[in-house]
Structure 1
């Protein structure tokens, strides 16, 4: 039973990581994971800066989605 739960958990984790890669959210998620684990004292001292960096990274991912969408629409028009 424990093996089945562990296998399912790892499969879901792998699927989540693959989805993050497809959505270009790997860098923001990696940053978030590192900040709350490895750099926790720095994060607690600079919460606004750390959150701002995270939001900029997510914003860049959204901007890349928009650029891709514009390119696809542009290709369809021409």
Structure 2
């Protein structure tokens, strides 16, 4: 009777070890990917700054101009 229990226990131990090895490999690959990504992120700073300045310029020029166009139309809002 102990042989089937021992075999089941051994199977579970082997399965747990396999899951642990796969988890370690996934963690190592993720760590390497994050390291490579962070090594190149500094190159994106200039692009992000340019895009943010373009968005700020758009918000400062186009959005108020559209507000003036819509302010001529009658509004049902009491806050206008």
The normalised TM-score by structure 2 is 0.41
Return the structure number with greater relative CO, CA threshold 8 A, min gap 6. Answer: 1
Greater helix proportion = 1
Q: Radius of gyration: which is bigger?
A: 2
The normalised TM-score by structure 1 is 0.42
